[in-house]
Structure 1
Amino acid sequence: MKGNENLEKEHKNTYLLKRFLPYYRKYRWILVLDLFCAMLTTVCDLVLPLIVRYLTNMGMTDIEGLTVKIILSLGLFYLLLLAMDAAANYFTAYIGHLMGTKIETDMRRDLFCHLQKLSYSFYSNTKIGQLISRITTDLFDITEFAHHCPEEFFIAALKITVSFVILGNINIWLTLIIFIGFPLMLISTGYFRKKMREAFKRARVQTGEINAQVEDNLLGIRVVKSFANEEMEEEKFDIGNRLFLAIKKQSYRYMAGFQATTRVFDGFMLIMVVVCGSLFMINGAINAGDLMAYLLYVTTLLASIRRIVEFAEQFQKGMTGIERFIEVMDEPAEVYEAENAQELKQVVGDISFEKVSFQYSDGTDEVLSDIDLNVTHGQNIAIVGPSGSGKSTLCHLIPRFYDVTSGRICIDGQDIKDLTLHSLRSRIGIVQQDVYLFSGTIRENIAYGRPDAPLEQVELAARQAGAHDFIMKLPQQYDTYVGERGVKLSGGQKQRISIARVFLKNPPILILDEATSALDNESERIVQESLRELTKGRTTFTIAHRLTTIRNADIILVLTEEGIVEQGPHETLIRKEGVYYDLYQMYRDLDGVNGEF
């Protein structure tokens, strides 16, 4: 994944339909019945011209034979057809739309499930607002498309075919003159159809950009207000909003051109029937009843074509939604399970890195190169080094948020690529600097890893994390709503809840990714006490800037662009007076006794 440009590809309609058709499989009998009912709705349109032709010819050639009984019988027959038409139309309108909604729901489910499988690198290069647009707005039109697309084209094909057969039997030459206009119309409107598709896709992309901008603004609203930048944000939004307007204006211009072209052909075909039909009637090739039938059939055909024209906008929107759906579904999951992946059970906690190298998929330089490391169960490994040296990346390779480019990582002698992702990640706990709390209650957030955990275990985990006391002071205690992203809690409180979440999970392997670097001194002291309790007996990787979090580590790794340049306990590295010693001296001068990394 090299950025959003990979999500913007052009696909042919035939390819898009081929990818979309499997979603009908579950509902194929509903589709068959829907098309059957759609066929019934065309009967009235096809029979009426024949009734009019019969009555007209009888009236002109045998007026005495046209009895009241015949007229009433034909009228009653047509009323029965209308009743059948109403019932069939009810079915197609209700069950057909329901089928479309179910297909839309299936596609949204598949898209969401696929998004769960995509790697960190995909989300690093893709705007969340764009993905929200794809999973919501882009699929809204699928219901109408899935229902009306087969129905409208089936009805149009049926009417054209049956009409051609009936009219051909009346007068083949007049029929050919009329029907030659259809391919000409398709060719002449092809340009507008293509341009409409392109414009609708640009509109969808811009909708995603607006979503992304709104999301970015609202999540950062406190920063916006603190810098008094409301006007600047409004101007930025106005630029995107006006661009959306310009794109929509362009799409409607193409749609207007499309509709104008089809109206020209409507008039052309009608006048052709009138002029040519009259000439044929003068020469005795057809009679008045036949000409009336021609006019009614052509009117019916043009009505069908107008419905197709009106559906063209919906069709192009649906195809655009399918295209943007497929673009995400075609994004490869860079991290995947082996075919015969094994469950990770009875974890001891020994971890080894064997000649591990890593490079991001966008082709940048290697972040890690030939890393060799052996960690014994229960050890606390601290990782320090300058920004960009790969500290977080090194730890993110253990739960396979990324896959190594070369080499391998083993847990208790098992290559992590041979393990199921669920069993691997369920045995690793991660506490990060940027705590994410879901919109919900404190209890739900602590129990996120074990939703079925009873309240007693949730409370125990909170006590172990030093969070119980402040939770009990809240209005609804463990049922207190934390707000979006935990906005109602302080940084220290959110961090203690995230630690309680890991306590409840009880994993044998821990990753602490700068877990206290964003906290004030008092909050850091409380959280550090919780972390010391959490790390007991667990294999722990600590990425830290503050010296207080790593001085007691069993092994300190000094990671630079050249790899692991030093390792050992704090006192040993200080006596060595190497890279770690220089960093220690520099940050001690900057931050006093404790020092920061």
Structure 2
Amino acid sequence: MNDILHESSKIQIVKRLLTYVKPYKLKVTLVILLLLIVMACNSVTPYLMKISIDTFVAEKNVKALILLGCGLILMNVFSMILSGIRTIAMSKITNQILVDIRHSLYTHIQTLSFNFFDNRPVGKIISRVVGDVNALQNLLNNSIVNLIPNVFTIILVICLMLILNPMLAGICLITMPLLLFAMFYIQIKADNKWKIFREHRSSLIGYTHESLSGMKVIQGFSRKYYAKDKFDSHIGNHANGFMTAVFTQDFFWPFLTAFRGLSMVILLGSGYLLSKQGNLSLGTLMAFFMYIEMLWRPIINLSSFYNAFVTSMSAGERIFDILDTKSDIVDEASIKALPQIKGDIEFDHVTFSYTNADIPALKNTSFKLKAGEKIALVGETGAGKTTITNLISRFYDPTFGCVKIDGLDIKDVTVESLRSQMGIMLQDSFLFSTSIKENIRYGKLNATDEEVVQAAKAVNAHEFIEKLEKGYDTDVNERGSRLSLGQRQLIAFARALIADPRILILDEATANIDTETELLVQEGIKKLMKGRTSIVIAHRLSTIRDCDKIFVLSKGKIVESGTHDELLKNHGYYYKLYSAQYSFLKQDA
């Protein structure tokens, strides 16, 4: 039953791959036509050899032999030219199909919710987009280059053999059923081995990406030998998986060689007996030898194709597994875009768990924010602060309850229209490996150079940018590695400012800025927050004293709310947090 389901799965994968071929069906048809012409030219050669031996050689007709030889040369030159055109055309078609598949895969991944990325290492996702799509190249090329012409060749050769001598053809083909049985049996075994190999390869890529990303941690803790041992384990599994799959796959070739030799022996023996009886001419026997060679060559090619087919099916299965993954955050067909918002936010009895088995990260939480208010979220690690901002941004949907902006449930508006009016600043601000100018412009893609400079000046980033070698055109390297943490954060502030969001979220946004830099950037932050609903998460309580309201969270619940002064007077949870940071202020408080 599993094998039946597996074969059904392969058929479905092939059908889905064909949808990517459909836009190029006219070009593919032309390539197939060229292939058929080339194969027909090759297949007719042995028959012409039979005529030349049985007729022209026997009659010593030199003129006819010369004409036939010239004809064969011209036919082969013509075939070579068509073959070259076919190769170039097929390469272009295959490359474009791979581009289309990568576009589909990358575009779909961008629509997936955070749950998808929470449960998959980045390296494994990269393996799908790069490695698995590359694996499909062999399938697409081989399907046209090997499958169609070789199947056509086998059918044509068998037909010509039957026309020349049905009895001898039947005797020569007697080994074929046994060979097919051996081929399919071995390939089924090899299929499972290739699946295991690809899983090991995916794990290797995932670990390699992770270890290179965390190289500072590895070197900082002097764990290079520990990391090397883990890498050796992954690469050992990868190598063993490959060797096992190849060994199983290549076990077929001895059978192929044996059956090939056996078919030649059968042809020699039966040809001798038939020619002795006068039922077989020398030309026909020569033609059969050539046809047997022509028959075995496509069988070998088809065996190689099946190997590529099995490997590519595993790759296709993983690609379509991602394409079939549904996002938890989906825009319904009937919903509309969110109009320009004022910035009112309401949590209406919201409960949320990151997985069904988890203890809720947020429990029955309700609060309201007015447009333009500046509020702060404080509490211990894991209290639910970032969860609130994730729900406002609709990176996740509440398990129960709803989140409203300007009175509208955010599930009833498109994600694009919601997030385009929000700005998010994180503790670890991500910068792309391009220029500072382009990183700032990411907040507003059509921003002019002057707007970029003004945004940088507003957050006091202009001065240090101007001191760099190429100023705003300086490349920051991957993740902004050539800049300090504080400099990266300032550029991220400028990016958020130029986006002009109606709701601004600052999640520990000043944590990586030193005290002196923080004083410089405070004015920029005030400009950034002016007229916007702003939500600040900060462990450094000095940065939130001027907030209109402070929500204190503990274990997924809001336990206190009020202004800084009100919360200190209450001598509650916030007072304890504040006193722990500023013990010298206890008496004054």
Q: TM-score, normalised by structure 2?
A: 0.92
Look up the match of 1:42. 39
CA positional deviation for 1:593: 4.6
Moved more, 283-292 or 435-444: 283-292
Counterpart in 1 of 2:317? 323
Partner of 1:56: 53
Partners of 2:174 and 2:111 in 1: CA distance: 52
- Aligned residue number for residue 3 of structure 1: none
Q: d(CA) in 2 for partners of 1:24 and 1:183?
A: 33
Verify the 8 A CA contact 1:42 1:159 in the aligned structure 2. yes
Once the two structures are superposed, residues 347-389 of structure 1 have per-residue CA deviations (whole angstroms, 9 ceiling, x without a partner) of 1111112222222246423322322221110111211222222
User: Does the aligned pair in 1 maintain the 2:28–2:90 contact within 8 Å?
Assistant: yes
- How far apart are the structure 1 equivalents of 2:441 and 2:563? 36
Q: Deviations over 1:373-412 (max 9, x none)?
A: 2111011121122222221111111121112223222211
Alignment match, 1:417: 411
2 CA distance for matches of 1:181 and 1:398? Answer: 69
Q: 1:303 to 1:91 in 2, by over 3 A?
A: same
Task: Quote the residue 2:30 is aligned against.
Answer: 33
Alignment of 1:242-281 (within 5 A): 242-281=236-275
Contact 1:99 1:147 in 2 (8 A): no
Q: 2:386 is matched with which residue?
A: 392
1:172 counterpart residue number: 166
1:59–1:493: structure 2 CA closer, same or farther, 3 Å change rule? closer
Residue 492 of structure 2 aligns to which amino acid in structure 1? S
Which residue of the partner structure matches residue 334 of structure 1?
Answer: 328
1:296 equivalent among 290, 315, 333: 290
Q: Which moved more, 1:245-254 or 1:170-179?
A: 170-179
- In the alignment, the residues of structure 1 paired with residue 291 and residue 559 of structure 2 have an alpha-carbon distance, to the nearest angstrom, of 86
Partner SS for 1:275: helix
1:55 partner amino acid: S
Structure 2 spans left out of the alignment, 5+ residues: 1-5
> Gaps spanning 5+ residues in structure 1: where?
1-8
Query: Quick check: 2:458–2:524 contact (8 Å CA) kept in 1?
Result: yes
Query: 1:514 matched to which residue of 2?
Result: 508
Counterpart residue number, 1:581: 575
Distance 2:131 2:231 in 1: 19
Please give the secondary structure, in 2, of the residue aligned with 1:365.
coil
The answer on whether the counterparts of 2:551 and 2:562 sit within 8 Å (CA) in structure 1 is yes
Cα pair distance change 1:248/1:407, threshold 3 Å: same
Tell me, yes or no, if structure 1 residue 558 matches structure 2 residue 555. no
| CA RMSD, 1 decimal | 2.4
CA displacement at 1:142 relative to structure 2: 2.7
**Preserved CA contact (<8 Å) 2:461 2:491:** yes
Which residue is 1:12 aligned to? 9
Amino acid at match of 1:159: T
**Structure 2 CA distance, aligned partners of 1:527 and 1:58?**
97
1:194 has 2:195 as partner: no
Give the Å deviation of 1:113.
0.8
Q: Hey, what does 2:533 align to over in structure 1?
A: 539
User: Following the alignment from structure 1 to structure 2, what is the Cα–Cα distance between the partners of residues 220 and 530?
Assistant: 32
1:232 aligned residue: 226
* Alpha-carbon offset, residue 111 of structure 1: 1.1
Cα offset, 1:26, TM superposition:
1.3
The structure 2 residue matched to 1:466, chosen from 452, 457, 460, is 460
Q: Which of 102, 106, 109 is matched with 1:112 structurally?
A: 106
Partner residue of 1:355 out of 343, 349, 352: 349
C-alpha deviation, 1:455, in angstroms = 1.5
SS of alignment partner, residue 349 of structure 2: strand
1:118-144 deviation digits (Å, cap 9, x = unpaired):
111111111111122221222223333
2:151 aligned with 1:154, yes or no?
A: no
Q: Which moved more, 1:340-349 or 1:166-175?
A: 166-175
Whether the aligned pair in 2 keeps the contact of 1:353 and 1:410 (CA below 8 Å) is: yes
The count of aligned residue pairs is: 581
Residue 3 of structure 2 aligns with which residue?
A: none
CA distance in 2, matches of 1:154, 1:363: 52
The question of whether the paired residues in 1 share the 8 Å contact of 2:56 and 2:64 is answered with: no
The answer as to whether partners of 1:43 and 1:81 remain within 8 angstroms in 2 is no
8 Å CA contact retained: 1:141, 1:318: yes
SS in 1 for 2:425: strand
* Secondary structure of the corresponding residue to residue 133 of structure 1: helix
Displacement after TM superposition at 1:548 (Å):
1.1
Contact 2:345 2:405 in 1 (8 A): yes
Give secondary structure in 2 for the equivalent of 1:372: strand
| 1:497 matches 2:494 | no
For 2:207, give the aligned amino acid.
Answer: Q
Return the letter of the residue paired with 2:28: L
